[in-house]
């Protein structure tokens, strides 16, 4: 027994030494294997489908591969540690001329404007767009007026981006029209044109477009061509305009009635006492809100004047003149490209019956209230401004 014990004790140190040597050799061998074999792609591993059910392995590999991450961090250049430290110190960037909220960004990365150009999900971004439309036309629509809108959209060439605002929530049905598949569709139930315009036509979004058409859905366009209209708007220097309206169809202002003896008119004669100044609405500097067309610069001003809660826009047409100067020369009606206001009670029927009144009656009552509210707000804002600069307007009748 004593001999066996001594033999076991004498072998134990040699076995321990052999274990350490073997481990060390294994580590060294593994290191050399690791640096000589290409990086293993985890996306090529044959893992059970239920093991990582919610992980996009290709995304993880692309995002976190050490070689790519290092290349990104160094941006393809060899920078000193001091340069890297300076780049990572974002407190050193403050550019007051950047858009509000973007002062901490280097100016070269700031994208202050956007557009409605559709992009592909594949390929090179620089090759996405074969053309960039120069103009934008929007219609606020319900599906029941699809034939009318189809006829209207076809009057606008490929130079126009088409944007439909759907107040009835029906969007996919419009794909029966080929042009609809290239249009932008925005849906919010029971909302108006000016509600949409305030929220989706910010000046920095529509900045790529020279002119913006913001039209109703009940317009007959048999005698209208959008390209010819643009030519006349440019020719006569109109910043805010509309096509002439068929004079024998429905009620309209004298200013917006089509004249058959000219291309464009900018002034008119209204009923006695209606115009305190021949250069003011409704005798001049005036178009209606059913089919207005704005230049890029004019729209930037008009957008800021639209009120968030006054969604019908009544009263805006009398205030548009504040956005161009001189208004009586830059606001006008294009007579040779004219439309018909069909007066369809479409959006009016989206109201709700209250106190026994028809839905359209409640909508019309709110329209009138909004007109009064807008006039009051505008007058109060002007008075407050003049007061702030020391001008007394209490005895003035001109606003």
Judge whether residue 374 has pLDDT over 80. yes
Helix, coil or strand: residue 255: coil
pLDDT computed for residue 219 by the predictor: 95
What are the angstrom distances between the C-alpha of 215 and each of 1, 98, 112, 221, 337?
Answer: 108, 34, 27, 12, 15
Higher pLDDT, 392 or 214: 214
Cβ proximity of 255 and 282 under 8 Å: yes
What are the angstrom distances between the C-alpha of 293 and each of 101, 160, 210, 214, 288?
Answer: 31, 13, 10, 6, 10
Q: Where are the alpha helices (DSSP H) in 186-336?
A: 193-200, 226-235, 296-305, 316-319, 327-330
Euclidean distance between CA atoms 208 and 118, whole angstroms: 13
Euclidean distance between CA atoms 67 and 132, whole angstroms: 38
Judge whether residue 8 has pLDDT over 50. no
Q: What is the pLDDT of residues 43-93, one digit of tens each?
A: 444 444 444 444 454 544 454 454 554 444 455 455 566 655 655 666 789
Sign of CA dihedral 111, 112, 116, 117: negative
What are the angstrom distances between the C-alpha of 395 and each of 27, 274, 350, 398?
Answer: 95, 21, 43, 9
For 296-375, strand residue ranges (E) read 331-341
- To the nearest 10°, the Cα dihedral for 247, 253, 255, 261? 10
Sign of CA dihedral 60, 66, 67, 68: positive
Residue with tokens 């249009």: 183
Identify the weakest region by mean pLDDT among 231-245, 285-299, 326-340, 362-376: 362-376
Q: What is the pLDDT of residues 177-208, one digit of tens each?
A: 999 999 999 999 999 999 999 999 999 999 99
pLDDT computed for residue 375 by the predictor: 96
Residue with tokens 């019309």: 364
Q: What is the pLDDT of residues 144-186, one digit of tens each?
A: 999 999 999 999 999 999 999 999 999 999 999 999 999 999 9
Euclidean distance between CA atoms 141 and 346, whole angstroms: 9
pLDDT computed for residue 272 by the predictor: 87
User: Which among 226, 211, 244 has a CA at the least distance from the CA of 339?
Assistant: 244
Q: If residue 17 lies in a helix (H) or strand (E), which one and from where to where?
A: helix 2-36
pLDDT computed for residue 250 by the predictor: 66
Euclidean distance between CA atoms 52 and 264, whole angstroms: 68
- To the nearest 10°, the Cα dihedral for 94, 99, 100, 101? -60
29, two tokens: 């061998």
Euclidean distance between CA atoms 115 and 268, whole angstroms: 37
Q: What is the pLDDT of residues 85-124, one digit of tens each?
A: 655 666 789 999 999 999 999 999 999 999 999 999 999 9
Cβ proximity of 306 and 367 under 8 Å: no
Domains of the chain: 127-343 (3.90.550.10)
Judge whether residue 9 has pLDDT over 70. no
User: Which among 76, 18, 312 has a CA at the least distance from the CA of 190?
Assistant: 312
Cβ proximity of 197 and 136 under 8 Å: no
Region for residue 282 given its phi and psi (left: phi exceeds 0; alpha: psi -120 to 50; beta: otherwise): alpha
What are the angstrom distances between the C-alpha of 147 and each of 95, 343, 346?
Answer: 51, 15, 14
């Amino acid at each position: 027994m004593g001999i066996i014990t001594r033999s076991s004790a004498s072998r134990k140190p040699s076995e321990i030494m052999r274990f350490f040597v073997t481990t060390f050799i294994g580590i060294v061998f593994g290191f050399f294997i690791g640096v000589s074999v290409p990086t293993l792609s985890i996306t090529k591993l044959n893992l059970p489908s239920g093991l990582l059910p919610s992980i996009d392995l290709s995304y993880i590999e692309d995002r976190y591969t050490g070689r790519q991450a290092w290349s990104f961090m160094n941006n393809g250049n060899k920078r000193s540690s001091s340069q890297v430290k300076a780049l990572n110190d974002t407190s050193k960037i403050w550019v007051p001329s950047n858009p509000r909220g973007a002062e901490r960004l280097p100016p070269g990365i700031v994208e202050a404007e956007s557009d409605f150009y559709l992009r592909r999900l594949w390929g090179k971004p620089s090759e996405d767009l074969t053309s960039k439309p120069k103009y934008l036309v929007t219609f606020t629509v319900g599906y029941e007026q699809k034939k009318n809108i189809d006829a209207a959209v076809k009057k606008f060439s490929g130079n126009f981006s088409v944007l439909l605002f759907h107040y009835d929530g029906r969007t996919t049905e419009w794909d029966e029209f080929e042009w609809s598949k290239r249009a932008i569709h925005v849906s919010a139930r029971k909302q108006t044109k000016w509600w949409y315009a305030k929220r989706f036509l910010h000046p920095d979004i529509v900045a790529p477009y020279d002119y913006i058409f913001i039209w109703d859905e009940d317009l007959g366009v048999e005698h209208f061509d959008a390209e010819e209209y643009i030519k006349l708007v440019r020719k006569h220097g109109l910043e805010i305009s509309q096509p002439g309206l068929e004079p024998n169809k429905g009620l309209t202002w004298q200013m917006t009635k089509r004249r058959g003896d000219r291309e464009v008119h900018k002034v008119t004669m209204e009923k006695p006492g209606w115009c305190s100044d021949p250069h003011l609405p409704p005798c001049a500097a005036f178009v209606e809100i059913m089919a207005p067309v704005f230049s890029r610069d004019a729209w930037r001003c008009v957008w800021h004047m639209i009120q968030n809660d006054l969604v019908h826009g009544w009263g805006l047409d009398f205030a548009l003149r504040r956005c161009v100067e001189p208004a009586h020369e830059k606001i006008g009606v294009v007579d040779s490209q004219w439309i018909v206001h069909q007066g369809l009670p479409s959006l009016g029927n989206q109201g709700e019956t209250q106190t026994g009144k028809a839905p359209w009656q409640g909508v019309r009552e709110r329209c009138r209230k909004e007109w009064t509210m807008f006039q009051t707000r505008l007058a109060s804002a002007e008075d407050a401004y003049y007061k702030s600069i020391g001008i007394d307007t209490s005895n003035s009748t001109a606003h």
